[in-house]
A and B are shown apart, each in its own frame.
Chain A
Amino acid sequence: QQQVKQSPQSLIVQKGGISIINCAYENTAFDYFPWYQQFPGKGPALLIAIRPDVSEKKEGRFTISFNKSAKQFSLHIMDSQPGDSATYFCAASYNNNDMRFGAGTRLTVKP
């Protein structure tokens, strides 16, 4: 099922640093690219999302960079905080159907 490849599998960042998670997709029909944040014992929660007609979207400390020609997109977390420690999933879907998820990145932000 996996049509979205995510890296790294785990990431450790110091407080105040920048966390970067990368994803690559295969299906050029995908038209929606969200990032989800999941804390232990909880379901994934939508963090930020982008459509392929823009190259960047920023919401607070979270930024998605999107490269359509390379079929890649990434999540940047600026000024990372211990409260950002969670598992992050990239995903992709076409026409809001059959959303496919990356393998996940476990982020640890050290104080």
Chain B
Amino acid sequence: SAVISQKPSRDICQRGTSLTIQCQVDSQVTMMFWYRQQPGQSLTLIATANQGSEATYESGFVIDKFPISRPNLTFSTLTVSNMSPEDSSIYLCSVEEPGGIYGYTFGSGTRLTVV
């Protein structure tokens, strides 16, 4: 399985500020995904990021709020912009398994608290 390093692991931020979350993978992957997991809840897909193209956002998520970069096949960032307490959540980076194997691997997540 791919190994994902996600940073930061947690942060406490002031409302109105922005936080950029980094996701580094130990192998080249075509597709990377960003999920949000609110406390005690399921995982909700924010967007899919393919290298060389703009991210595709799910309904309810917009680029101005969650800009994503995907500069190469092993790295992506998600920015949570103009944060409010409602953005307090765990943000997870995920990648498809390499080699055409079905399944996703997840990072350990970024626990964000907005005060």
Contacts and interface: CB of A to CB of B under 8 A. Distances in A.
A69 interface: no
Give the bracket for the number of chain A residues in contact with chain B: 20 to 34
Contacts of B40: 104
A44 B4 CA distance: 12
A104 B41 contact: yes
A60 interface: no
B32 interface: no
Interface residues on B, range: 20 to 34
A43 B45 contact: no
A99 B42 CA distance: 12
A106 B96 CA distance: 25
Contact of B43 (A41, A44, A46): A44
A98 B104 contact: no
Contacts of B24: none
Given A93-B102, A104-B41, 14 more contacts: A1-B44, A1-B60, A34-B103, A34-B104, A41-B111, A42-B108, A44-B43, A46-B103, A46-B105, A49-B103, A89-B42, A101-B42, A103-B41, A104-B40
Interface of A: 1-2, 32, 34, 36, 41-46, 49, 51, 89, 93, 96-104
